Amino acid sequence: MKGLLRLAVDSHVIAKRNVIKIKRVPEVLVFVLISPIMFVLLFAYVFGDSIAIPGGSYREFLIGGIFAQTVVFGATFTGAGLADDMQKGIMSRFRALPMSRAAVLVGRTASDVIYNVLSLAIMAITGLIVGWRLHTGPLEAAAGFALLLAFAYAFSWVMAYVGLLVPSVEVINNASFMVIFPLTFIANTFVPSENLPGVLRAFAEWNPVSAVTQAARELFGNIPPGTPEPSVWPLQNAVAYTLIWVVAIIAVFAPLAVNRYRRRP
């Protein structure tokens, strides 16, 4: 019990340190706020009239995918922040302090939830401006946003582990782009998965990004009436499949990241 209390207190200190850092490096906050607006406007106005969604609006179809893509990309702040701290020697100072070893990573991943909350808020406002609407009640809408944040938090642990493996911020930015870009585009984020050919369609249907996108659309009421039921289990049970991935990712990568932090010279 005492160990958990110590972890909570130390994690709060680290999270507070990372939040205060936003004031000192406002450029990061600007990127967090501008990037979602750019994606929403780009896809809504450039592709909005080119992709047909039977019985519905592409702009409403789009926002769920943009939400999923942005929170996944937002997880890279965790890895980049840890790589930057390692490069500057700050991690060595943390390890010299009488604090919980896991607190640095728990505080880092927790503070990055704030980045994703800001991104989702800005995207929601921008989406409302371009024509997106919520067609469910406040509880379902809140559940949709909570599910997106939970998935983002889980993915932050993947980036935390990667951030402790690489030697610099530049490396993690390039490495994460090579993984996250195809993961978010070979999905139902921007086009229906049934429009994809063969192998790509199979990958998209089992892709966890497709599941969180589908779950968000269902909870926001953005599935057009008369849309055929998905033919695969992950999209038929998108909320459950997303939660399975959230638990599995944290269960695997949280211990790996903490162990790597302890052993890193």
- Provide, rounded to the nearest whole percent, the portion of the chain with pLDDT above 70: 92
- Tens of pLDDT, residues 198-218: 899 999 999 999 999 999 999
Kindly tell me if the per-residue pLDDT of 11 is higher than 80: no
In three-state secondary structure terms, 262 is helix
Kindly tell me if the per-residue pLDDT of 220 is higher than 90: yes
- Tens of pLDDT, residues 119-129: 888 888 888 88
Which CA distances in Å does 196 have to 30, 76, 163, 181, 204? 34, 27, 33, 16, 8
In three-state secondary structure terms, 83 is helix
pTM value is 0.90
CB hemisphere CA count around 263 (13 angstroms)? 8
- Provide, rounded to the nearest whole percent, the portion of the chain with pLDDT above 90: 27
Kindly tell me if the per-residue pLDDT of 158 is higher than 80: yes
Choose the weakest-confidence range: 1-15, 36-50, 144-158, 168-182.
1-15
Q: What is the mean pLDDT of the chain?
A: 83
Q: What is the mean pLDDT of residues 136-145?
A: 93
- Tens of pLDDT, residues 223-243: 888 778 888 999 999 999 999
Cα dihedral value 97, 13, 247, 251, nearest 10: 0
Q: What is the mean pLDDT of residues 16-32?
A: 69
Binned at pLDDT 50, 70 and 90, residue 146 comes out as very high
